[in-house]
A and B are shown apart, each in its own frame.
Chain A
Amino acid sequence: MSDILLVALGGAVGAPLRYLTDRAVQSRHDTVFPWGTFTANVVGSLILGVLTGAALAGAAGHTLQVLLGTGLCGALTTYSTFSYETLRLAETGARFFAVANIAASVVAGLGAAFAGFAVAQSLFG
């Protein structure tokens, strides 16, 4: 299958998955903190970290990288919604949550990506 089709297929699964994750998480808490997008972004970063570590170790091929990495993880995670939610938090007076959203998303996302990458490299390397 061509790369474009693989990316489209992954994107067609990843984006609805993010929407469902967001709804499920947002309906379970009453704070203004956007835990839904946060969860999707951290989970996607973990999966892409594992995939990238596995690929560098030779355990994940090109097809898997394009389908799951570029397509699924790329669409499961989002920068646009993350930035918009941060802006809205700052504008509605929740400045602390705006800064906390940036800090928590970057720290948790990077932590998840590094952890996934390291685990995959030690497993497959």
Chain B
Amino acid sequence: MDERAMAGRADAGAKRDWRFAPSLLASLPPAELAARKAALRRLAAAHLPGAARAPDYDPLPVILPGALARRLGAALCRRAALLGVMIDDLYGQRQCLADGTVPAPALFSAAEWLRPMVSEAPLSAPRLVLYAADLALDVAGGAVVLRDHVDNVPGLGHAIALRRFISAAMPELLRSLTLASRQPLIERWREEIDHWAGGGPVALLESEDDDGADAALLARVLGALRLRPADLDCFGEAPEFRTLAGTETVRLLIRRMPATAIDPLEQGGAPASGVAGVFGAIRRGRLAMLNAPGTGVIAAPGVAEGVEGAIAALHRARFGEALALHRAATAVLPFAPLAPEAGASEPGTAPFVLRLFALHCGAAGWVALPGGLGLALGPDGRTQMKDVFVLDHGEDGAAPEDMAPEVVARAGGGRARAATSVLPSRVADDLFWLGRAVERLEAAARLGALALDTLAEASALPHEQHQRGLLAFCLAHQRLISPDLAGRHVAARQLRDSLTGGAVLGVPIGMVRRLLAATSDRFSATMLTTIEAALERVMAAREGGMAALVPASLALAASFAGVIGEDAAQDGAFLFAELGRRLERLFTLSGSFAILLGGAPTRLAPGIRLAVALIDAAMICEQRYGGVPEAAVALRLLLGDLAYPRSLGFQAAALAAGFARLDATAEREEARAIGLALEDASTRMAPGAALAAVEARAAGLCERLTGRLFAPPASRQHRDGAAPP
């Protein structure tokens, strides 16, 4: 039994449209379908940077005739409403316990029963706002519920976003069908959550185990932030998170983590696993959490059965008819076609369940999403997600959503959407270190390349030995070679051998990879692709040793600088990556210059030549001065020239400007002071000590920045006072 026949029996009037899918299937050969499937997944992966893996999408949709979708949607909304009534009763009067509908032992022993969430006063938002049900359709067009999703509701992001990917990968499919739009509902729901958010940001609260792809897609649809528990503190009445501009209060969290570990203060567990104080904020109406913690209890074993009986009775009492969507422990699943994987010769079929979603829209009540997800069990045992098309005209020509009249803007046109251009400190921290890592890679590549160039024609002449010694000290200082190799009489061959393979760049390359993955959702797909492509070239160049790695690393650094220069990283992210770059450049160059320029004034010339080469300033020297200038002029260029982007003074000035944007007054003043110290050093003929001091101050600046603006230290939990010690 496939969905075409099933829908055909349910709504004969829709057969004309319903049979479109087979004709499409017939028009696309298996190899082409397999290619489309691969393209769909590539497309999704490109839009889901940082996801553990690309979602298992299938390009062939489940198609629901309008009348069937309308009927299922209405039943779904009624079921959601009644489940909401039961949740309110359990966390309020508990009449269902008194009348024996729900067995007390089952309720009280359920892990999902959260006593701290019992509250006589209503919460600031309904407890149940997001609902989904996994349905098994039957041959008569009816359906039974195999599972209620009343706690976390997985798949909503996929359900909404998959259409866009399908339209790109299967354009002919959408050209020939008119589908019910989900946009009115999404817009309406966004208005509602803005209302619950009280004008503040809307945020998803995620755990490490969350489906990052689903969360990312949902966050984009809602314009929401993605936060983890460690981002939030509950200092006062509501949780806050650190941003560029200080702290931002959150009044609405869309919960993506299990309810059993949200508030370590009231639930126990590791403080980092949740947000201490968040239950109190919910109880006092200072925070809306969607869904409220504890809603999952109505699906707990032993409770669910009682709830099912109760909502059936409620349904009959309210509507005078039997519950249209009821639970079944098992059901015979219908089959849906599956596009072939690459290499397969024919499309397959697989049993599937239909996941439909309903959203609570405040005064408008529950509204079903026109569409959903088809979850088919692929031949490899993995679940493949299919879009659910709801045809926009059925037998009666009506729109499929019976909610359509209700989906109107809130009175007064709704609130202005809150600005969500805030950057959680964790993300800022990662971006800052990404900037540092890219710069560290570039600095290591430049220093390594300079060393290899210098060593290429090594001789025993004293000045060349001196240069070799200086470079060896620099390399050791930057931890690119063993300290044992640092010394004035180091053999050129030893240095070359330690650098040629390029292993010295392994650490910064690894850092860039890790941090890019951690921050990838801050970049647009195009910009991320640019950086990732450059990074892939670096990875590929590893086999070619330092000679191949240097140009690839410099190209990566240039790509990164270009991308953040285009402000691809949103919401101030650019600023943190830029601060990271400038601070790292100040730190590493001041350290290297302290060595290169640390000799006596009479022996500065070799070091200056190396310093000029290190920052790639030979060309500007040639243009301005006809070659490497005398020491005083060169020091001015290297240390104090605010117009030259590779000078140390430029880095200090850029840092001061960045800190000013952050209102980080103390850090700005320190950057200015470093700039003044560099200006002073640029006038001395022995600036080594001053530069070493600058290096130390740059390190201190990094520590201060980390402590003041970035992620707070971990908390600890205690329970005291009961038992005598």
A-B complex is real? no
